Amino acid sequence: MNTNTKIISGIISFIALLILFFWLNNNFRYDKYIANIKQSSNDIIYDTIYKYEQPKTIEIQQAKPKIKYIRDTIIITKPFIAQIDTIVKKDTIQIFYTYPENLLSMKINQTTDSTMIIKQINYREKERNWWETPALIISGILVGYIITK
């Protein structure tokens, strides 16, 4: 016999033994005979999604408020601008009043609103066939053998 035929027959017999081993291992596994060890592989996965929405800005520019006179006499004062710029519960509020033009401006910026959405997904893991693992091992051995030649 030639040395090449001995090597090839050795490789073929090794592959046949591997296939036989994996087939026997798959068919006579211990956990198959124990009842209800592994429940069905249906798992429930929860996915949480946060949706952010920017609310619209509320703005009033130069509105003319009504003046209510309490006295008969008018007191003349210097022109001024009254301003309030504050934050209330994470909302920014700006109010401006100009005198003697008697103009009122207001601007309200609200914070970003977030909504939490929880999705429930039924996840089922696909079981592999018994021959996939030995096929991967054998193909890896063959590719390694071809690369070394």
Does some domain include residue 68?
yes
The closest of 95, 89, 12 to 58, measured between CA atoms, is: 95
Q: Which pLDDT score, from 0 to 100, does residue 121 have?
A: 76
- Who's near 37: CB < 8 A, 6+ residues apart? 31
Range of the domain at 27: 3-40+127-148
Does some domain include residue 118?
no
Does some domain include residue 119?
no
Does residue 135 share a domain with residue 103?
A: no
- Which pTM was predicted? 0.38
Separation in Å, CA 105 to CA 1, 38, 67, 77, 114? 103, 69, 16, 21, 29
Does some domain include residue 51?
no
pLDDT tens digits, residue range 41-98?
557 777 778 888 877 777 777 766 666 655 666 677 788 888 888 888 888 888 888 8
Does residue 74 share a domain with residue 100?
A: yes
Does some domain include residue 50?
no
Q: In three state form, how does the secondary structure of 49-78 look?
A: EEEEECCCCEEEEEECCCCCCCCCCCCCCC
Q: Which two tokens stand for residue 134?
A: 């030995």
Number of domains in the chain: 2
